[in-house]
Copies of this chain bind each other. A is one copy, B any other.
Amino acid sequence: MKKAIVVASINTSFPNDEKHYFGVDRGALYLSKQGIMMEEAIGDFDTVNEDEMNLISKYSKNIHRLNQIKDETDLEVALSRIINLNFKEIDIYGALGGRVDHLYANLILLNRYINQAKIKLIDVNNEITILNEKKEYELLKNKFKYHSFFAQDEALISLEGFKYDLYHYLLTKNDIITISNEIMSKRAKLTIHSGSLLYIQSKDKY
């Protein structure tokens, strides 16, 4: 299964042993400065100077330059192009810091391609994805202490092996009862009986 690594800002930590990189706007500059070859650099590059643009060109198989006046965000265009290239797994780094409007828009984008690819938003303290299959998920204890589940509309779920377990609980979209749960032993079980969940793994900054 083809996996894309998307880097959307500078000073972002990302894995350097993958095959297919995409740089979004200043993320493309950051990747090229690390000497990482990109499938494509996408953005309006309005804050990038000529020397920097040359560096990006050197490290990109393709550059997709957007008009500054546009109806879509850079990441939105990038995702649509990556989906069209048939990537089924897309990890996005550097899309959670900064402005809350962008963060919120990026959560919306997670939803848009839910049936075409498994998309994650990742930074050092958070990993976010959508779970929408009616099945039992095995979740492993990992570097993230907290596991939070939010219903998209509503979701019927069960949790087993967590600090706070639930049995056939109907979670509504205004419910925050399933925030900051913790996996008690090595693994735990989440069952989605119906609906879909925003799944946020997180740890404290300090």
Q: Is the CB of A100 within 8 A of B108?
A: no
Chain B residue with Cβ nearest A125: B99
- Interface hits, A36-50 → B, CB 8 Å: none
On whether A99 and B177 interact (CB within 8 A), knowing A105-B148, A108-B150, the answer reads: no
Given A103-B100, A200-B101: A174 touches B126 (CB 8 Å cut-off):
no
A176 touches B99 (CB 8 A): no
CA distance A99 to B124 in the complex (A): 11
Measured CA separation A112–B71 after assembly (Å): 31
Q: Interface size of A by Cβ–Cβ distance < 8 Å?
A: 38
Smallest Cβ distance from A188 to chain B, in angstroms? 16
Which residue, A72, A100, A102, A198, has most C-beta atoms of chain B within 10 A? A100
Q: Which residues of B contact A143 (CB under 8 A)?
A: none
Measured CA separation A174–B130 after assembly (Å)? 14
Which residues in chain A, 93-131, are within 8 Å of chain B measured between CB atoms?
Answer: 96, 98-105, 107-109, 111-112, 125-126, 128
Is B173 within 8 A of A99, CB to CB? no
Residues on B with C-beta less than 8 A from A2 are none
A186 at interface, CB cutoff 8 A: no
Residue in B100, B112, B146, B202 whose CB lies within 8 Å of A128: B100
- For the complex, what is the distance from the CA of A176 to the CA of B150, rounded to whole Å? 20
How long is the Cα–Cα vector from A176 to B103 in the complex, in angstroms?
Answer: 11
A-B pairs with beta carbons under 8 Å apart, 19 shown: A71-B177, A72-B176, A98-B205, A99-B146, A100-B103, A100-B128, A100-B202, A101-B126, A101-B179, A101-B200, A103-B103, A104-B107, A104-B198, A104-B200, A105-B179, A108-B173, A108-B174, A108-B175, A108-B176
